[in-house]
Amino acid sequence: MNAYKTNSYSNVFEEYGYAACDIEKRLENIYNTIFYGNDDERLYHPFGDDMAYFVDTGNNDARTEGMSYAMMMCVQRNMKEEFDRLWKWTKTYMFMEEGWNKGYFAWSVKLNGEKNSMGPAPDGEEYFAMALFFASNRWGDGEGIFNYSKEGKQLLHECVHKGEKEPGDPMWEPKNKLIKFVPNLDFTDPSYHLPHFYELFSLWCNEEDQEFWKEAAKCSREYLKKACHPVTGLAPEFSRYDGIPCDSPCERGYHERFYSDSYRVAANLGLSYEWFQASEWECECTDKIQTFFCETVKGKADLIYEVDGTIIEQKALHPVAIIATNAMASLASKGKYRKECVDIFWNMPLRTGERRYYDNCLYLFAFLALSGNYKIWK
């Protein structure tokens, strides 16, 4: 039975013999480090009397990815004050009130509140919406921007209907109901696909969009089967809607390979299965991913790869994220490397240094999920 129906969540750490008190102490320490550690550790920074931002330490900015991640972290741990501070900073400095992208959030903003871009990134919007709905269900709606459910519904409305009555582009392609990498380009990012979120959006969105989100969940699950390699299970950073890897026409890089964004796919598959158990394929794919790292490239799990497993002899930018997401995949995996991935993760500390932001976000989510604490608030 899935967690949505039972309200019961797998504690994979306990399953493999780790003590409940040690798990809780470790989770508390992770949160304290990321939110309230010293300046060389934390990512959360109060701003003024009632706001806060979550910094990308590698780029010295605040991103919708990180701000929405931090809000999700807060609602899962009952940190309402921090949640509200982050949300107010987001609405104050990231929200776009006019122009082509009116109603969305600027994906990158300087720490003084100045926008670096007037374009959005859809992975931020979907996490904002989910965090807002969870906040509404856990704490109740407040006034103004703290009417969480109203804000979440309005944001999802923009994501689906943008361009119908005023200039702009929707974040989901209307023809196939797949999330775009950015609204004005016709390709996608496999790690953006969160069918388990869309299942919940269909329950809490505006009534006229309920069917859209049900279909979006189904379409994303079918898409992921195409995007993840049939042998390795690896997904590219970017792909066409048919799942074929592609690079960006705007920024040439490693995007057709298994690279930074791609790591999140394993984690997403794990959480999707934990929450809904809607597809046994999620178990098969996570098994393949864990087999690839624990067997095929054992000892070389910190490099760049083609999705077919070909090794690119260059160091990955976020090696801790690879370990964390492979472990989180154990929520779905039924293979022989499930425990090994969890044990490797347990024995790995948080990342330090200027590149710690992305790795430690995924580290926290993995620990939250594997300890049975990444919950659906309804």
Task: Encode pLDDT of 163-191 as tens digits.
Answer: 999 899 999 999 999 999 999 999 999 99
The residue annotated as part of the active site, out of 61, 65, 237, 284, is 65
CATH of the domain at 316: 1.50.10.10
Q: Tell me whether residue 185 is in a domain.
A: no
Same domain, 346 and 267: yes
> Across all residues in the chain, what is the average pLDDT?
97
The residue annotated as part of the active site, out of 158, 209, 261, 282, is 261
Q: What pLDDT shows up at residue 252?
A: 66
Q: Tell me whether residue 116 is in a domain.
A: yes
Residue 82's pLDDT band, with cuts at 50, 70 and 90, is very high
Q: Tell me whether residue 180 is in a domain.
A: no
Domain range spanning residue 250?
A: 1-42+224-377
332 Cβ contact partners less than 8 Å away, ≥ 6 residues apart: 269, 270, 272, 273, 274, 282, 283, 285, 286
Residue 352 reports pLDDT greater than 90: yes
Same domain, 25 and 137: no
Same domain, 165 and 120: yes
Q: What pLDDT shows up at residue 247?
A: 87
Q: Tell me whether residue 186 is in a domain.
A: no
Q: Tell me whether residue 184 is in a domain.
A: no
- CB atoms near residue 176 (< 10 Å): 15
pTM above 0.85, yes or no: yes
- CB atoms near residue 22 (< 10 Å): 12
Residue 193's pLDDT band, with cuts at 50, 70 and 90, is very high
Same domain, 17 and 64: no
Same domain, 237 and 367: yes
- Amino acid making up residue 51: M
Same domain, 35 and 51: no
Residue 329: name the closest of 284, 376, 278 by CA: 284
65 in active site: yes
Q: Tell me whether residue 117 is in a domain.
A: yes
Instruction: Establish how many alpha carbons lie within 13 A of residue 137's alpha carbon, considering only the half-sphere containing its beta carbon.
Output: 17
Q: How many domains does the chain have?
A: 2
Strand partners, 179: 172
Same domain, 249 and 147: no
Same domain, 6 and 97: no
Same domain, 25 and 55: no
Residue 1 reports pLDDT greater than 90: no
Same domain, 278 and 332: yes
- Residue that has been written with the tokens 């000892």 in this structure: 299
Task: Encode pLDDT of 273-300 as tens digits.
Answer: 999 999 999 999 999 999 999 999 998 9
Q: Tell me whether residue 197 is in a domain.
A: no
Same domain, 337 and 242: yes
Same domain, 275 and 139: no
Task: Encode pLDDT of 88-137 as tens digits.
Answer: 999 999 999 999 999 999 999 999 999 999 999 999 999 999 999 999 99
Task: Encode pLDDT of 208-260 as tens digits.
Answer: 999 999 999 999 999 999 999 999 999 999 999 999 999 887 766 789 999 99
**CA distances (Å), origin 288, targets 268, 303, 342:** 15, 18, 15
Length of the chain measured in residues: 378
